[in-house]
Amino acid sequence: MKKDDQEITLLNSDIASNDNLKKNNFKTTNINILLNRVRLDKKRAFKKRIVFSFFLAALISSLTIYFII
């Protein structure tokens, strides 16, 4: 025979331990991951600037050649 009180106590303790785990489990991120993300973002931004500058220079040079000739 099972005791009803014991089953309720076990359920309550499980819920209490889950609440404690949720409260104590803070999201932490490794600083190296953050730094790598910043480096990758800088590289992407630099590549975008290079591509944009190349297309802008090509457009300007093609327009000058078109109007000169």
pLDDT of residue 20 exceeding 80: no
Distance between CA atoms of residues 54 and 48, nearest Å: 10
Q: Supply the mean pLDDT for the chain.
A: 79
Residue 58 pLDDT level (bands cut at 50, 70, 90) = very high
Residue 59 has pLDDT above 80, yes or no: yes
Digit-coded pLDDT (tens) for 28-50: 778 888 899 999 999 999 999 99
Q: How many CA atoms lie within 13 A of 55 on its CB side?
A: 5
Type of residue numbered 46: F
Separation of alpha carbons 55 and 49, rounded Å: 10
**What pLDDT is recorded for position 69?**
81
pTM for the structure as a whole: 0.52
